[in-house]
């Protein structure tokens, strides 16, 4: 089965989503038309790029004429409608996904691998974290996630309880368990993130050692290791809370911030933490050290 892809070029993409869905679009998504960065939004926010392409997918025999007419009528004043239509052949999207997701060596004996590519890691003593296609959250390819995985691989985790605050896919907590931690507590604002975490923990055989909590249900208590891969502003706001979640001497890592944001985040944590040299990758920064 093929699909019709309708691309709408507009500076006001929010008006198009509801209209396209009402005209039986099977899916609607947004992509950047000008390579402008955008960070993960805070809860309740839905920011767009300055130049956004709205993409809608319809069955190949769908009549697009009424859709285009409705778009023209609903378009804000003084904005011309620009669209493109493309026929997309159906494909084995899992196979396509696998082709573009590499096997990643994080440290000498530590790998993050799509489950279908497990056979590509041949070392008998390798520690391998497995992930599945369709994951809605972190896969380890983002520089910020990589920096946290790298740090975990260099940290003594044996017997410790790890707090992964803003856990997303749970990749960091699961990595910590595979690398020697005793237990992991995973906290996120998104229920889907907790579902992804539990699923990935089961795939990696560590489900019984993972506790998942919505942020609203989390009660601060000291943990042996702290990792938070979120964003600079939330990290700054959460500094007192996260300080109360790390026991004295506990190693910690903060990520999800750009290099230019590092000093402001560091200043927020300075009353409670000592610092070691930062990690950097592709413009992203990791702050790490120990609870005083």
* pLDDT value at residue 125: 94
Binding residues: 145, 166, 188, 229
Give the closest residue to 130 by CA, choosing from 92, 84, 177.
Answer: 177
| Rounded to 5°, angle at Cα 161 from 154 and 248 | 80
pLDDT digits (tens, 9 = 90+) for 99-125: 667 888 999 899 999 888 899 999 999
* Residue 74, CA distances (Å) to 19, 52, 53, 147 in order: 9, 17, 17, 45
Reported as a pLDDT band with limits 50, 70 and 90, residue 72 is confident
The fraction of the chain above a pLDDT of 70, given in percent, is 86
pLDDT tier at 36 (50, 70, 90 boundaries)? very low
Query: Do the domains 139-291 and 2-90 match in fold?
Result: no
Q: Is the pLDDT of residue 11 over 50?
A: yes
Range with the poorest average pLDDT among 2-11, 23-32, 47-56, 106-115: 47-56
Structure tokens at 244: 């109360």
* pLDDT at residue number 37: 45
E-state strands within the chain: 2-10, 27-32, 52-59, 82-89, 104-107, 110-114, 127-131, 161-165, 183-188, 210-214, 225-229, 251-258, 273-281, 284-291
Annotated binding-site residue numbers for S-adenosyl-L-methionine: 145, 166, 188, 229
Q: What is the pLDDT of residue 92?
A: 61
> Which CATH number, 3.60.20.10, 3.40.50.150, 3.30.420.40, 3.30.70.120, labels domain 2-90?
3.30.70.120
Q: Which of 13-17, 146-150, 263-267 has the lowest mean pLDDT?
A: 13-17
pLDDT at residue number 278 = 98
Domain residue spans of the chain? 2-90, 139-291
**d(Cα 46, Cα 48) in Å, to the nearest integer?**
7
CB atoms within 10 A of CB 24: 11
pTM for the whole structure: 0.73
- Specify the CATH number of the domain 139-291: 3.40.50.150
Please give the DSSP secondary-structure letter assigned to residue 76: P
The span from the CA of 206 to the CA of 216, in Å, is 24
List for the chain the helix, strand, coil content (%; round to 5). 30, 30, 35
**Quick one: pLDDT band at residue 39, thresholds 50, 70, 90?**
very low
Query: Band of the pLDDT at 184, cuts 50, 70, 90?
Result: very high
**pLDDT, tens only, 121-177:** 999 999 999 987 555 456 778 899 999 999 999 999 999 999 999 999 999 999 999
């Amino acid at each position: 089965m093929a699909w019709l892809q309708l691309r709408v070029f507009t500076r006001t993409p929010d008006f198009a989503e509801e209209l396209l869905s009402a005209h039986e679009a099977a899916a609607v998504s947004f992509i950047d038309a000008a390579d402008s960065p955008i960070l993960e939004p805070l809860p309740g926010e839905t920011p767009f790029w300055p130049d956004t392409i709205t993409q809608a997918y319809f069955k190949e025999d769908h009549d697009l004429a009424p859709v285009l007419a409705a778009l023209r009528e609903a378009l804000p004043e003084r904005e011309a409608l620009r669209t493109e239509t493309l026929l997309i052949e159906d494909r084995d999207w899992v196979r396509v996904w696998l082709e573009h997701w590499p096997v990643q060596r994080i440290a000498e004996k530590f790998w993050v691998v799509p489950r279908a590519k497990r056979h590509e890691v041949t070392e008998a003593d390798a520690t391998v974290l497995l992930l599945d296609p369709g994951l809605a959250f972190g896969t380890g390819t983002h520089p910020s996630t990589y920096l946290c995985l790298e740090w975990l691989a260099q940290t003594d985790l044996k017997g410790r309880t790890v707090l992964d605050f803003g856990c997303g896919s749970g990749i960091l907590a699961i990595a910590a368990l595979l690398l020697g931690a005793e237990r992991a507590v995973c906290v996120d604002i998104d229920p889907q993130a907790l579902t992804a975490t539990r699923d990935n923990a089961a795939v990696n055989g560590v489900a019984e050692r993972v506790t998942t909590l919505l942020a609203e249900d989390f009660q601060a208590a000291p943990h042996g290791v702290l990792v938070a891969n979120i964003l600079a502003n939330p990290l700054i706001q959460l500094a007192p809370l996260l300080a109360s979640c790390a026991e004295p001497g506990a190693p910690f890592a903060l990520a999800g911030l750009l290099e230019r944001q590092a000093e402001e985040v560091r200043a927020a944590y300075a009353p409670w933490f000592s610092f070691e040299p930062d990690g950097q990758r592709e413009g992203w920064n990791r702050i790490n050290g120990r609870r005083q």
